[in-house]
Amino acid sequence: MRVIITKNEQEMGKLAGQYLLGVMLSKQDRVNVSITAGKTPKEVYKYLIEEVKGKEYLRHVHYYNFDEIPYVTEDKPGVTMRDLTKMFFAPAEIDKENIHPLSEHNYAEQDEKIANAGGLECMLLGIGVDGHYCGNLPETTKYEDKTVKVMFTPAIKERVSVLYENKEEVPDYHVTMGPTSVMAARQLILIANGKHKAEIVKEFLEGEISRKYPATILKMHPNLTVILDEDAASLLGK
């Protein structure tokens, strides 16, 4: 595991983007990457959009989302794909043929499809203040899980509802790549910024592996790079 501490969110995002771009350029054959939505990767995509847009030599790069929260009342892309499209896919002009959405309809076949396409070269991950990664919330998935459907508790459903304008569209579940699927990726990049992430970053790096903090299992990966800003790293060693 490599831990890199940068000065601020902008430097964290640029460095993570450079790492991911390096993966994309690492070979000329197909490269599969899985990327995160949410607020943390904003600066990553700000950097990558300019590096990827219109680049014919990056047409071999294929993109996967690793979790999805669907809409109940409408047949349209879920929350994760909605946000990734707005943040990165649309402004970077990524071809639809290079985007492979995970959904409630295809999650059972996702692992086989990725394996048949050569596996994931890299995953860009965030970490929640509760220690979740992807859709692996505390005490919801087991270490041996691949890509699975996870039912929401009432409390989780309430948290998720803030992502929807119409509360009738909030589902009772989401789908996510589980620990086994994530650990199968050849490289993991985990990013975190801000003082609100300082406590969980300390728990992640200095604590034990436990289902209470699901992301702690990622420390077992042989090729994990953790990129933090100074605020997120502010409690380390204290």
Q: Could you tell me if residue 131 is inside a domain?
A: yes
Q: How far apart are CA 159 and CA 8, in angstroms?
A: 28
pLDDT digits (tens, 9 = 90+) for 51-78: 999 999 999 999 999 999 988 877 788 9
Cα–Cα nearest to 129, from 195, 85, 57: 195
Mark whether 132 is an active-site residue.
yes
Q: Could you tell me if residue 126 is inside a domain?
A: yes
Mark whether 75 is an active-site residue.
no
Q: What is the CATH number of the domain that holds 218?
A: 3.40.50.1360
Mark whether 130 is an active-site residue.
yes
Residue type, 224: L
The residue segments making up the domain with residue 148 are 2-229
Q: Could you tell me if residue 110 is inside a domain?
A: yes
pLDDT digits (tens, 9 = 90+) for 120-160: 999 999 999 999 999 999 989 999 999 999 998 888 888 87
Q: Could you tell me if residue 219 is inside a domain?
A: yes
Q: Could you tell me if residue 10 is inside a domain?
A: yes
Q: Could you tell me if residue 67 is inside a domain?
A: yes
CA distances to 4, 8, 170, 215 from 164, in Å: 35, 30, 7, 26
Domain count for the chain: 1
What pLDDT is recorded for position 154?
84
Question: Could you tell me the two tokens for 24?
Answer: 């994309």
Q: How far apart are the first and last CA of the chain?
A: 20
Q: Could you tell me if residue 236 is inside a domain?
A: no
User: Do 147 and 179 form a contact (C-beta atoms < 8 A)?
Assistant: no
The active-site residue, picked from 67, 83, 229, 231, is 67
Q: Could you tell me if residue 235 is inside a domain?
A: no
The active-site residue, picked from 95, 105, 130, 196, is 130
Average pLDDT over residues 204-219: 97
Q: How far apart are CA 41 and CA 71, in angstroms?
A: 23
The active-site residue, picked from 62, 111, 132, 231, is 132
pLDDT digits (tens, 9 = 90+) for 93-126: 999 999 999 999 999 999 999 999 999 999 999 9
